[in-house]
Amino acid sequence: MKPPDTQNERQWLSQYLDRYRESIFSPDVTAPLVELKNLLCSCAQKGGKVILAGNGGSSAIASHCAVDLTKQARIRSINFNEVDLVTCFANDYGYEHWVEKALEFYGDPDDVVILISSSGKSPNMVNAARHVLGSGMPLVTFTGFSEDNPLKKLGQLNFWVNSNAYNIVEMTHHIWLLAVCDLIVGSAEYPSNR
């Protein structure tokens, strides 16, 4: 068995991590992140909630951020990650429409909706975005891949990662969303039992 080529692996990892640095720190997203913070705080002051949705890894990000926004930032937030909800609504309305229908049932006028899709092309997210536009709720999108993706075109506040790598797009979305949570809290270091 041939020993691993550590030099090539280290070089590959160095280039990989450079792609993360580029996606996270090259674009100046400070003003839009402050705008998102203000939107979420205004939503909470009006008695609304934040609804986050995504597929796959983006769904996991939505789940994590909903919990942190609720527990740490004290902004009531939900996501649609319950298996019975997803399978029931997908079965009854079709997979391309289940998020749209969930928003129809669970969304309220003072809510803010955050849709997360690496490609920005997931039909269920695009259909959900169209529903949100018709409802009057503010729509925030987190996408990557093509800059002119359909979901980004529908959002009122859009965060786009210039990458075609799922892991880089998803982790950048995660960092940006949790940065907003920390901005609301006013600290990056606080106890988990806050």
pLDDT tens digits for 52-90? Answer: 999 999 999 999 999 999 999 999 999 999 999 999 999
Say what the pLDDT of residue 193 is: 77
pLDDT band of residue 1 (cuts 50, 70, 90) is: low
Q: Which amino acid is at 173?
A: H
In a domain, 192, yes or no: no
Domain of 85, in residue numbers: 30-184
In the chain, the number of structural domains is: 1
Rounded Cα distance between 137 and 48, Å, is 10
In a domain, 60, yes or no: yes
Residue-by-residue DSSP string for 47-63: T--EEEEESTHHHHHHH
Count the neighbouring beta carbons within 10 Å of the beta carbon of residue 135: 16
State pLDDT tens for residues 146-176. 999 999 999 999 999 999 999 999 999 999 9
Q: Is the pLDDT of residue 127 over 80?
A: yes
In a domain, 22, yes or no: no
In a domain, 9, yes or no: no
What does the DSSP 8-state code read for residue 2? Answer: P
In a domain, 90, yes or no: yes
Q: Percentage of the chain with pLDDT > 90?
A: 93
What does the DSSP 8-state code read for residue 140? Answer: E
Tell me the CATH number at 95.
3.40.50.10490
pTM over 0.85? The answer is yes
